Amino acid sequence: MSHAEADDLYGDGGETGHTFLFTLNDDYIIDANRKGNSARWINHSCAPNCRAVVEESADGNPRHDKVMIEAIRAIKPGEELTYDYGITLEVPHTARLKKLWKCLCGAPDCTGTLLKPKR
Ligand SMILES: [Zn+2]
Confidence band (pLDDT; 50, 70, 90) for 110? very high
d(CA 54, CA 12): 22
Give 75 Cα–ligand 1 centroid separation in angstroms.
18
User: What was the pLDDT predicted at 119?
Assistant: 74
Residue in 26, 58, 19 with CA at minimum distance from that of residue 40: 19
CATH topology for 3-100? Beta-clip-like (2.170.270)
Distance 37 CA to ligand 1 centre (A): 24
Per-residue pLDDT tens for 75-86? 999 999 999 998
CA angle 30, 36, 42 (to 5 degrees): 95
Residue of higher predicted confidence among 18 and 109: 109
- Please tell me the distance between residue 43's alpha carbon and the centre of ligand 1 in angstroms: 10
Q: How far apart are CA 72 and CA 69, in angstroms?
A: 9
CA of 113 to the centre of ligand 1 (A): 6
Nearest to 23 by CA among 59, 52, 60: 52
